[in-house]
Amino acid sequence: MQAISPFRLAPYFRTRIWGFPDLAPWFDFKTEGEPIGEVWLTGEMCVAATGPLQGTSLSEITSQHGAAILGAGHAGEEFPLLIKILFPKEKLSVQVHPDDALAQKFGEPRGKTECWYALDARPGAKVALGIKQGATDDQVRASIDAANLEDLLDWLPVEKGDMIYVDAGTVHAIGPGAVLLETQQTSDLTYRMYDYGRPRELHLEKSFEAMRLQTSAGKVAPRNENDHQVLIDEKYFRVERWNLAVGVKAEALTQPQPYVQMIFVAEGAVTVSGDGFDPFVVERCQLAVIPAASGPWSIQPKGAAEIMRIVPQSL
């Protein structure tokens, strides 16, 4: 298998009506047009910003080097996880995502299970996860007709450092005030149930087919594991939090793995180096891809740094 060196991906900025025109201090990005609500870090249109693959989109890289990127036996597959940062200035629509079986019924390859890590949260930030206990399908339909579905949702406060699991079938919404790192299956399937009167299409019948009144969604407590924390360990993804200090080699973090790894910097900055490629810096809110066929590599923080290691579970 051809060796592929680690590389940093450039972010891709997505317009959303509920976003911001200025993403400072997270990104040096302003727009005069439609606001930016999502920054995609592993989208198919994201391009390599370092190394010999510089300027090549992630979709092209995965198509041409699938086994080397994802691991033996996975040539021809899509990159397995879509990682984004969400910047909600206003409430997102109330929506639900299908599971794999329902998505495939409608001709799509997979559904959408996701999780959110709160990079920041102002007082009063909250998300809705599921329908209140005891509510029925008929009550949900009636509340949509009466324009008060929000009253049937189970709202949870969000604080910086929270990890929130949102399995497929969970009716959910995000309020303003938090900056969320979202890890999800590579899918953009969203069925919109309710949009506060905005003139956007609703997908009610598909929403009700996808909706489950009882799900596993909720906050997930971190689990200490040697020198890091496991924030979530579910069917499709595992997210770990590593706090690095200058001079600490973090050898457990850089052990060879037979699958792709993603390194996201939540605080600080790190340098990724190794044999056969030029060192590169990954700063706050940037992401590096460590291919399955990567040679030995190391990571050195420039100061105190907090990073997330994100790996797929369903390869």
| Whole-Å CA distances, 174 to 137, 153, 195, 256, 285 | 21, 11, 12, 37, 20
How far apart are the C-alpha atoms of 228 and 80, rounded to whole Å?
Answer: 24
How far apart are the C-alpha atoms of 61 and 82, rounded to whole Å?
Answer: 15
306 marked ligand binding residue: no
Q: With b meaning 16 or more CB within 10 Å and e meaning fewer, what string describes 203-215? A: beebbbebbbbeb
Catalytic (active site) residue 14: no
The neighbour count for residue 232, using CB atoms within 10 Å, is: 20
How far apart are the C-alpha atoms of 7 and 48, rounded to whole Å?
Answer: 6
How far apart are the C-alpha atoms of 199 and 233, rounded to whole Å?
Answer: 38
| Cα 23–Cα 88–Cα 99 angle in degrees, nearest 5 | 125
CA atoms within 13 A on the CB side of 54: 7
Candidate list 8, 14, 141, 192, residue with the active-site label: 192
Place of tokens 């911001």: 20
H or E segment to which residue 156 belongs: strand 153-157
The neighbour count for residue 84, using CB atoms within 10 Å, is: 22
228 marked ligand binding residue: no
How far apart are the C-alpha atoms of 88 and 75, rounded to whole Å?
Answer: 36
**Is the CB of residue 127 less than 8 Å from the CB of residue 164?**
yes
Task: Please state the φ and ψ torsions of residue 125, each to the nearest 5 degrees.
Answer: -65, 140
The DSSP result for 180-228, as a single string, is EEEEEES----EEEE-TT-S----HHHHHHH--SS---EE---EEETTE
114 marked ligand binding residue: yes
Residue ranges at the known binding site for Zn(2+): 97, 114, 172
Tell me which residues are annotated as active site. 192
